[in-house]
């Protein structure tokens, strides 16, 4: 009998410990103040040829004063309860308010990196509110169709395809989602919200290369890659997805840096997809809880590699336009 009691007590202690670990991991986050010293220069003058505004996750506004294009356009940001217990859908009012706050009235294009809900869900409504073309994979097209977008406002593209918007040249390159249980799958029919979050399957994952007047910026939304996909490609600045990068092995992180930064010759890294996208955008951005990600490890790795290679690592500030090319370090000799 005493043996049974001891076993029961041990199991109870293990359960209490596990519950405490989960609670701590879901309620504690890295201190964002430790990383803000590397923020980009936000002194954007009217003479700046290019301005970029980070709007959380991998939503990025590119504006050269003549043309505006948006990556992803995710603003609704359902909370954890909604994600796990309910169906989700774009919130038109939140999207409209977010676009107004960002100073977005017209867009040439909304380009979707891949079709998970935190990238594709709001994109059709953003396109409708701004007169934009929705650009992405067949899965993204089915998100647009499910929201009622007409076919002539949807552009289905594949890796290697190039498009021009004003003076922006946009090339879609093959990429991959960071390894996770949510990787893979296609949306094979029009997706009509509200639906469960897992209905937004990945589809094709793109890295987006944006070129303008001899300068190139590469956006890789998720911390995944296809080896060799960037061979022969140059980028001055890489907007680098780091969500769950800190949970990967050191060899994976090293390969990620080599493929995205060393291979492209980039001189600056702007980390994206690090914030907790279950929090609304009218609150300050916070890192993903430590149970789900390890931003401390990611940032220590990036800053260490950057120091060795002479590459800037600049964490973007939400809602604040900056010139991504200002003060760019000279190429290493």
pLDDT at 12 over 60: no
Higher pLDDT, 216 or 9: 216
Name the band, by pLDDT with cuts 50, 70 and 90, for residue 40: low
With contact defined as beta carbons under 8 Å apart, do 110 and 133 qualify? Answer: yes
Q: Which of 303, 301, 315, 308 is nearest to 254 (CA)?
A: 301
Q: What is the mean pLDDT of residues 238-252?
A: 96
Name the band, by pLDDT with cuts 50, 70 and 90, for residue 152: very high
pLDDT of residue 16: 55
Q: Of 45-54, 180-189, 278-287, give the range with the top mean pLDDT.
A: 278-287
With contact defined as beta carbons under 8 Å apart, do 122 and 99 qualify? Answer: no
Name the band, by pLDDT with cuts 50, 70 and 90, for residue 266: very high
Neighbours of 284 (CB within 10 A): 9
3-state secondary structure of 44: coil
Q: How far apart are CA 51 and CA 30, in angstroms?
A: 28
pLDDT at 303 over 90: yes
Give CA separation, 4 vs 9, 15, 18, 56, 237, in Å: 9, 16, 21, 52, 62
pTM given for the model: 0.90
Return all residues near 112 (Cβ < 8 A) that are at least 6 apart. Answer: 71, 72, 119, 120, 123, 134, 135, 136, 137, 140, 143, 206
| Mean pLDDT over each residue of the chain, to the nearest integer | 90
Q: What percent of the chain has pLDDT over 90?
A: 81
Q: What is the mean pLDDT of residues 286-308?
A: 93
Q: Following DSSP, what letter does each residue of 185-219 receive, concatenated?
A: ----S---SSB-GGGS---S-EEEEEEETTEEEEE
10: enclosing H helix or E strand = helix 2-27
pLDDT of residue 275: 96
Q: Which of 233, 85, 91 is nearest to 173 (CA)?
A: 233
Domain boundaries defined on the chain:
1-30, 32-322
Name the band, by pLDDT with cuts 50, 70 and 90, for residue 23: very low
pLDDT at 175 over 70: yes
pLDDT of residue 2: 60
pLDDT at 37 over 70: no
pLDDT at 277 over 50: yes
pLDDT at 9 over 70: no
pLDDT at 26 over 70: no
Fold of 32-322: Metallo-beta-lactamase; Chain A (3.60.15)
Name the band, by pLDDT with cuts 50, 70 and 90, for residue 180: confident
pLDDT at 28 over 90: no
Q: What is the mean pLDDT of residues 27-34?
A: 67
pLDDT at 18 over 50: no
pLDDT of residue 89: 98
pLDDT at 297 over 70: yes
Q: What percent of the chain has pLDDT over 70?
A: 87
Dig out the tokens for 9 from the structure. Answer: 């007590």
Name the band, by pLDDT with cuts 50, 70 and 90, for residue 290: confident
């Amino acid at each position: 009998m005493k043996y049974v009691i001891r076993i029961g007590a041990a199991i109870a202690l293990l359960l209490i410990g596990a519950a405490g670990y989960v609670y701590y991991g879901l309620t504690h986050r890295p201190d964002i103040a430790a990383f803000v010293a590397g923020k980009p220069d936000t002194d954007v003058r009217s003479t700046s040829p290019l301005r970029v505004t980070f709007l959380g996750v991998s939503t990025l506004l590119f504006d050269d004063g003549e043309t505006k294009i948006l990556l992803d356009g995710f603003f609704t940001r359902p909370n954890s309860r909604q994600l796990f217990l309910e169906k989700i859908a774009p919130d038109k009012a939140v999207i409209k308010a977010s676009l107004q706050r960002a100073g977005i009235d017209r867009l040439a294009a909304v380009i979707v990196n891949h079709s998970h809900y935190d990238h594709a869900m709001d994109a059709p409504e953003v396109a409708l509110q701004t007169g934009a073309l929705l650009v992405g994979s067949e899965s993204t097209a089915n998100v647009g169709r499910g929201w009622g977008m007409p076919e002539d406002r949807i552009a289905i593209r594949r890796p290697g395809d190039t498009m021009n918007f004003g003076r922006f040249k946009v090339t879609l390159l093959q990429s991959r989602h960071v390894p996770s249980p949510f990787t893979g799958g296609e949306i094979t029919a029009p997706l009509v919200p509200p639906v469960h979050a897992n209905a937004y399957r990945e589809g094709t994952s793109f890295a987006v290369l944006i070129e303008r007047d001899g300068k190139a910026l590469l956006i890789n939304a998720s911390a995944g890659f296809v080896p060799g996909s960037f061979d022969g490609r140059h980028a001055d600045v890489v907007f680098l997805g780091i969500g769950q990068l800190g949970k990967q092995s050191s060899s994976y992180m090293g390969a990620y840096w080599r493929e995205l930064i060393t291979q492209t010759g980039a001189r600056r890294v702007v980390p994206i997809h690090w914030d907790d996208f279950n929090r609304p955008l009218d609150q300050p951005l916070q890192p993903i809880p430590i149970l789900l990600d390890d931003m401390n490890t990611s940032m220590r790795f990036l800053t260490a590699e950057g120091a060795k290679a002479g590459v800037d690592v600049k964490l973007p500030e939400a809602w604040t336009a900056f010139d991504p090319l200002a003060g760019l370090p000279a190429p290493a000799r």
